[in-house]
Chains A and B, each alone.
Chain A
Amino acid sequence: MENSQDYVIEMLHITKEFPGIIANDDITLQLRRGEIHALLGENGAGKSTLMSVLFGLYQPEKGQILYNGKEVKINDPNDATALGIGMVHQHFKLVDVFTVLDNIILGAETVKHGFIQKAEARKKVEELSEKYGLHVDLDAKVEDITVGMQQRVEILKMLYRDNEILIFDEPTAVLTPQEIEELMTTMKGFAAEGKSILFISHKLNEILEVSDRVTVLRKGKYIGTINTAETNAQELSNMMVGRPVQLEVVKDEAKPTDVVLKTEHLTCPSHIHKNKKAVKDVSFELHKGEILCIAGIDGNGQTELVRAISGLDRKGVTGKIIINGEDVSGAPVDVHSKNMSHIPEDRHRHGLILDFTLENNMVLQRFKEPQFQTRGFINQKAVREYSDRLIEEYDVRSGQGSITIARSMSGGNQQKAILAREIDRDKEVILAVQPTRGLDVGAIESVHSRLVAERDKGKGVLLISLELDEVLSLSDRILVIYEGEIVADVKASEITAQELGLYMSGAKRMERKEA
């Protein structure tokens, strides 16, 4: 029989409020020793908040936390560390200009006579990284390493502090499929050693693969805890969203018509190595009424291609870009965006001004239009009405509606806001770059159906995606990019995942007839 001794951590009836929103409403979560416990919920369901409470970053208004059956008070992360709790945050907390080693030992330095014992620390870190196969370059600066390696640094930080309870807040959102595989293996290894793991994700297949039990939250409320072995993707997503969810994209056969976006021999310099080419002689045509996907493994020139097509990069770019019949090669962003919406890859860096209110973000490109201003003065009422309409129509959830500061919104709702803004601009071309990155199934469903609806209205959708599932289910036609070149041009219905994988990894290429 199970008694409370089996639980290493129990969070009982936790309630945490923010202005205008109850982020956690009477939530109970019990973590067994040595298990991988998944925490599942839509964006904004309160998962990060609950974990921050456990890690001592927030104080709950109500509820208690038990550690090995005894009540404890976690006032700050130091208390959490003392209990052996470690956390990898959704947005990493590393010092960019420090080396990897310095980041790992920061705050837990061994000091002798006032000097940091780096050699000792290095040895310990090297042993840990060896033991768990967490490869990192200890002397590289954090700003120079990949996101995947940054995450391994965060994991090593926890191990270095001998943490036994490990919290992973959406660790897979930023990783490539290969890195995700590795992370899963690492986590299983930890659990086998007796470490207890809290794993946050909204990718159902990952949860099904790696976890022992799942706790589901919805809109700040506790829905239930079930054994992973006894459930399936459909049941989990229904619990999470609160209604039956369509996991597959529903769409009719595409009816492509005129060409609406065209590139001719587009060549772009690489961002990292200035004298190399990241995009090589790329020519393609996007038609009205189709979703064309550029598929490929991250870093094969997608970023540069997008920046050229959107007009952000002009230096060193050669070839032609024609949007809606107008040659925009070499023109600034506003000329490109005249006939094109752009859902950017990085919503924090490019998509939103995080310190602005939601309503001000909604009119980011449009505030100079006559409806929002009279003789240079912003028409605040019109902006508010417009923003309220988009919020309503696209179900953007936030604490205070139009006047919410964008920074305080959850990632999924930030993305919905961007989507609302871009789709409502009603342009001929929609450039959608990883539009569902980090989103939960409910939100993905709505993004997908919006894009399909726009296609059916006769828009041309250019989708850039790294996720095989999305590429195969959403697009009508697929171009595979490998090392800056288009190596395949196929109909989505005529290719399998395996074959696509071969093209993406460069193992296979297709001779293309000149466009």
Chain B
Amino acid sequence: MKEKFFERKSVQSVTASIVSILIGLIIGAVVITIVGLSDSSLGIDSVKEGVSLIFAGLFSTGRNAAGTLTWGFNGQNFGNMLFRATPLIMTGLSVAFAYKTGLFNIGAPGQYLMGTMTSLMIALSLPSDRISPVIIWIIAFICAMLAGAVWGAIPGFFKAVLNTNEVIACIMTNWIAANLVTWLFDISNLKNEVESTKMGYIYKTTYNGVATAKLGLDKIFMGSQINAGIIVAILFAIAINIVINRTTFGYELRACGSNRQASEYAGLKSKRNIVFSMAIAGALSAAGAALYNLAGNTEFFWSTYQSLPAIGFNGIPVALLASTNPIGCIFSAIFMSMLDIAGLQLTNLTAYNEYISSVIVAVIVYLSAFSLVIRNMVVKVVNRKKEGGKK
């Protein structure tokens, strides 16, 4: 018996994600309309522009002399979208991987911070006049992953040994990371080499030549920040997909995540595997941080220890929107970045502010948590169609 197109699980998941996204976009459009109509400085024409930018901001190329919006391929928008998606893919993968092995990794922000700190400190402190910047890049990247792995392994270890809930341990390690990073940057001798603002510090790796290779991508997407990081992220997604679904290692991790007692009964080392899962999740988040911070054209602004990096938390909606499918994470992360770009276009080209796009993202985040519910709704509709057809 061959399954029909809409009866396939993967198709249903994708449909559910698309439904969430559409609802998010529509609510965004409604907000734009209400704001536009109630604000005397905006009006009906601004509403039309706002709504079109929300849906198609990626293809906006600005305004022409007559003052109307122009549309077309915008390399800068595309490039920046892919560049912003890079770390999001990684944190999304981190959450998705942990989820597939039965763990909820809410520790991505902390792991991301540890990756940020490690990659920057190494990239800024190794002498680039004696060591090739490429080598420095690689060392910084690997060390960042190791730091993230350690940071992820800590909640994993507590869960394995003391059976504490990984969510609580992750929240704690997030804040420990935040304070640790503040403190270490504070006392580090890197201080002389960076600009220090009143509120915090800005670190960049441009000046010593450490930067991710562009591989000609900047020629295709002129004027954007894009580099080969996006390719690395996509390769990671493919690799994680293979590890989870095709290898004995992935099988073992999934088994332990799904039923710890049965796994122990089968002679699998469930404690070790929980630590492994969390360590890999941590390494993925930190790798995302390294890809972002080693780009060479980014700045790390760490104003206070009272916030955690949003990219870490956004890994959760990225993963949920993708139904925790690693390949799906690529698309959901790119989509979330597209909304960012649309938000920027909205601010630049109209009198709206960019927070409208945050509202849309927030709605999608909420809906993505309900993606399972939405999927069940899809299943119901499909089944009803099927029964109707039979009668």
Chain A positions within 8 Å of B, measured between CB atoms, are 20, 61, 310-312, 332-334, 337, 342, 344, 349-356, 360, 364-365, 367-368, 372-373, 376-378, 380
Contact = CB atoms under 8 A, between A and B. Distances in A.
Given A310-B265, A333-B265, A350-B265, A376 B258 contact: no
Contacts of B248: 367-368, 372-373, 376-378
Contact of A353 (B249, B262, B267): B262
B186 interface: no
A364 B268 CA distance: 9
Interface in B73-126: none
Given A367-B251, A377-B246, A378-B251, A349 B267 contact: no
Interface residues of B, number: 20
Interface of B: 1, 246-249, 251-252, 254-255, 258-259, 261-267, 269, 387
Which of B249, B251, B254, B255 has the most chain A CB atoms inside 10 A of its CB?
B251
Given A376-B247, A378-B247, A365 B255 contact: no
A71 B199 CA distance: 75
Which of A332, A333, A372 has the most chain B CB atoms inside 10 A of its CB?
A333
Contacts of B258: 353-356
Nearest to B267: A334
A364 B264 contact: no
Contacts of A332: 267, 269
Contacts of B1: 20
Contacts of A368: 248
Contacts of B255: 353, 356, 364
Please name the 7 residue pairs, one residue from A and one from B, whose CB atoms are nearest each other, closest first. Answer: A334-B267, A333-B267, A350-B265, A364-B266, A353-B259, A365-B266, A353-B258
Nearest to A372: B248
Which of B261, B263, B266 has the most chain A CB atoms inside 10 A of its CB?
B266
Contacts of B266: 333, 337, 364-365
Contacts of B252: 367
Contact of A354 (B254, B259, B264, B265): B259
8 contacts: A20-B1, A351-B265, A353-B263, A354-B259, A356-B258, A365-B266, A377-B248, A380-B246
Nearest to A347: B262
Contacts of B264: 312, 333
Contacts of A355: 258-259
Nearest to A365: B266
Contacts of A350: 261-262, 265
Contact of B262 (A20, A311, A352, A376): A352
B265 A312 contact: yes
A501 B217 CA distance: 82
A344 B265 contact: yes
Given A373-B248, A376-B247, A365 B267 contact: yes
A378 B265 contact: no
A378 B252 CA distance: 11
Contacts of B261: 349-350
A395 to B, nearest CB: 21
A344 B255 CA distance: 17
Contact of A360 (B251, B265, B267): B251
B389 to A, nearest CB: 13
Nearest to B3: A19
A376 B249 contact: yes
B247 A342 contact: no
A312 B265 CA distance: 7
B249 A364 contact: no
Given A353-B255, A378-B251, 16 more contacts: A350-B261, A351-B265, A353-B258, A353-B259, A353-B262, A355-B259, A356-B258, A367-B252, A368-B248, A372-B248, A376-B248, A376-B249, A377-B246, A377-B247, A378-B246, A378-B247
A351 B267 contact: no
Nearest to A368: B248
Contacts of A311: 267
Contacts of B269: 332
B381 to A, nearest CB: 16
A6 B4 CA distance: 46
B262 A364 contact: yes
Contacts of B262: 349-353, 364
Nearest to B251: A367
Nearest to A61: B387
A312 to B, nearest CB: 6
Nearest to A338: B267
Nearest to A360: B251
Nearest to B255: A353
B271 to A, nearest CB: 11
Contacts of A377: 246-248
Nearest to A20: B1
A507 B368 CA distance: 63
Contacts of A378: 246-248, 251
Nearest to B102: A355
Contacts of A351: 262, 265
Contacts of B251: 360, 367, 378
Nearest to B387: A61
Contacts of B265: 310, 312, 333, 342, 344, 350-351
